[in-house]
Structure 1
Amino acid sequence: MAEKIKFRPHHFMCTLGFRGKGYSLGFVRNYKKIAQQLNDNEETQIEVVQFMDSICSACPNKIDEIVCKTQDKISKLDAAHSAALSLKVGDIFTWKQAKEHIKKNMSVEKFHTACHGCSWKEYGVCQQSLENLIEQP
């Protein structure tokens, strides 16, 4: 079995809205690889983790395996997403299950609360991706 992809809580919504943009070329390449793997095989397993995850591994803001340059902001986003999506460290989902979990637990109203302070929110792609997911039968 393939190794699980590790996600901190806020990366579920980030991945839903990912459009190939990011903090650096290395970060974008890594994230594209992860997103492609999930979209090619929705049965890929994702494990919820508390600190640095598979996406963070190539982030230029990463200081070490626990802390990033914007740790306070990221910790607040993770806490808000854990609450909104009813996630806990150690939870395991396939990407297919994760999308159903997002659809069931995240509303546009909750999105605005959970993603408050995220610099990517203003672009609207995450909200649009959430709305598209919610509208799917």
Structure 2
Amino acid sequence: MAGEFGNPEVIEENVDVLLIGGGMACCGAGYEIMRWADAAKKETGIDLKIKLVDKAAMDRSGAVAQGLSAINTYIGTEQDPADYARMVSNDLMGITRDDLAYDLGRHVDESVHLFEEWGLPIWKTDE
């Protein structure tokens, strides 16, 4: 059942950074870019205009709103990024960029901690 949109108002804006999407990744990118923008303003005096847009209300956007909230990668203290890179390579039958998998492994826990700091509830087990 298609809806009729009629003649919607078109608003044009000039922005320095346009973030598209209301999911957790885009909202996290928006939060993080504000830290960089504040630092850039202090250093250069340039005030960046940043806008995040989405097709729906923010609380109904992205996989998190659909109940798909899961963090699939966390290294922890028992393993290191090299272990993660090996696991990815084995999982994908060696068709990987080990340097990229290793680099992701170096930063993934830090990202999870940021999500937790931003208020995302994270359920933990001893495993």
* TM-score (normalised: structure 1): 0.24
Q: Which has the higher contact order (CA 8 A, sep 6+)?
A: 1
More helix by share: 1
Largest Rg, 1 or 2: 2
